[in-house]
Amino acid sequence: MKILVTGGTGVVGAGVIPELLARGHEVRVLSRNADEDARRWQNVEPVAGDVSDAMSLRSAVATCEAVVHIAGIVAEQPPEVTFDKVNVQGTRNVVDEAVRSGMTRFIFMSSLGADRGSTDYHRSKREAEEIVRAANLQWTILRPGNVYGPGDEVISTILKMIRALPVIPVLAADEHRFQPIWFSDLGKATAAVIEQNDLAGQTLELAGPDVTTVNDILARLGVITGRTPVKVPVPMPVATFAAKVAGYAADIPFDDTKLTMLRENNVLAEDSDNVLERLGVAGTPLDEGLRKLADLLPENLPENGVGSMQHKRFWADIAGSPHSPAALMTIFKERVTDLMPIEFASEPGVPTTIQRGVTMTGALPLRGHFQVRVEVSEPTRVVFATLEGHPLAGIVEFTTSATQTGVRFAIDTWTRASNIVDYLAMKTVGEPSQSANWRTVVENVVEASGGTSDGVETQSQKLDEEEAELAAERIRSMIQSRQRTESASDERAAKR
């Protein structure tokens, strides 16, 4: 079946699209930056468009047999991005185009609590549901609980707070219950629904197996990360201000809508049927999902940072080492936690050797835990990309190469500060500390090589706008290459 997925670039789409591909469906993705967004998967057709622009939908819907309509927002940026324009009118546009094209199968991704929630977000979902129900389509409405996975806006946010902040505001809403669902489980359920015609005309509620609270999530993630920030009670009237302060410190987006949604006890009703079980999907236990999430935060791309991008280089030419460039890089991969001057295995059970795709976790004094992902692991080259919550946005590249007198070990960084607080920190103590760290790494590798050097050499360059964009594109392509490789591997495994 050829399926159009609208807005498939968020956490919901990250669960739905791989599952559709694994089941052999053709997938077309509609988003504003579709060409860029679709590169993370193999064999996904991109179509640039915007659900709030009806004319941009014509080519997207053409030749498709079904739509999974995910596109929507949970926070407004008026006047251009509002609940009415995106969630309501955007749904109307997609429905109208599906009807006009003669398509029949239509899956609408709503939200658990849409029928009773008091937020403007929930009201917009209610209106959108009515638009879908009134259409001449074989529609199915899905109401998932809070969807958590890489980059979600609630549980991933809490995870980043625990890792980055010494103090966490505890709100009155933090004891209210909600029932999160792991993003891959929602993907499996959505794919099953679209393949079952007997579910047309139904509104289905689905959630994970565990009911939780924010305080419970804080406790569970504290065990997983090994961090226990101080909790400070904050009255609801100042909760938004506290959330904004946290946002400036650690790129943590929180607003009144999310705070209100936490107060609404977003759980399945006691007499409600959890569709996950009916669809044969074994819901992922919360502890298991949280442990997976701990290593799945998205990369912190340079375009998300602030200030100028800088390229820094630290290297040493080593003489008298018995090791070839490849052998020296193997030493670095296997002993990286010893060669780093900072703690580089700071959470329970994290990887301690370098392999492509693994997430490594370190700790910085006064800044908390940070993570990097191994995007490249070649015989003489390793690349780390920083993840969300890291004080820098960009990559660190380690290389070994032959010289006339021996072997060179080099470290290149292409980074900018993640946020305004980190920008100010880098301008004071951050940059000297960072440079001292990489110098020490080079010195430690020289010692581990069994050779000698005349010292560490350095270069630093502030990139102009064109150079920064070229570097950012190179970083995006590198990350997408790893994602495509992993996606293809997952698809092959699913088909076995």
How many other β-carbons are positioned within 10 Å of the β-carbon of residue 430?
Answer: 18
Q: Rounded distance, CA 438 to CA 312, Å?
A: 10
Judged against a pLDDT cut of 70, whether residue 248 lies above it is answered with no
Q: Is the pLDDT reported for residue 358 higher than 70?
A: yes
**Is the confidence at residue 237, as pLDDT, over 60?**
no
* Residue 259 pLDDT > 60: no
Looking at per-residue confidence, does 405 or 233 come out higher?
A: 405
Res. 269 pLDDT band, cuts 50 70 90: confident
**Could you tell me where in the chain the CATH 3.40.50.720 domains are found?**
2-150+175-212+260-286
Q: Does domain 2-150+175-212+260-286 have CATH number 3.30.460.10?
A: no
Q: How confident is the model at residue 427 (pLDDT cuts 50, 70, 90)?
A: confident
Q: How would residue 243 be classed by pLDDT, with cut points 50, 70 and 90?
A: low
Average pLDDT of the chain, as a whole number: 91
Tokens of 369: 């835990």
What pLDDT, on a 0 to 100 scale, did the predictor assign at position 232?
79
Task: Quickly state the pLDDT bin for 42 (edges 50, 70, 90).
Answer: confident
Rounded CA-CA distance 99/69 in Å is: 14
Share of the chain above pLDDT 90, in %: 75
| pTM exceeding 0.75 | yes
pLDDT band, very low/low/confident/very high, at 263 (cuts 50, 70, 90): low
Tokens standing for 468? Answer: 């920064």
Distance between CA atoms of 418 and 220, rounded to whole angstroms? 27
Q: How far apart are CA 346 and CA 389, in angstroms?
A: 15
Chain region(s) in the chain for CATH 3.30.530.20: 302-463
- Residue-wise pLDDT for 77-95, tens only, equals 898 899 999 999 999 999 9
Residue 14: per-residue pLDDT: 95
| pLDDT reading at 254 higher than 70 | no
What local confidence, expressed as pLDDT, does residue 295 receive? 95
CATH topology of domain 302-463: Alpha-D-Glucose-1,6-Bisphosphate; Chain A, domain 4 (3.30.530)
pLDDT of residue 114: 92
The model's confidence at residue 172, banded by pLDDT at 50, 70 and 90, is low
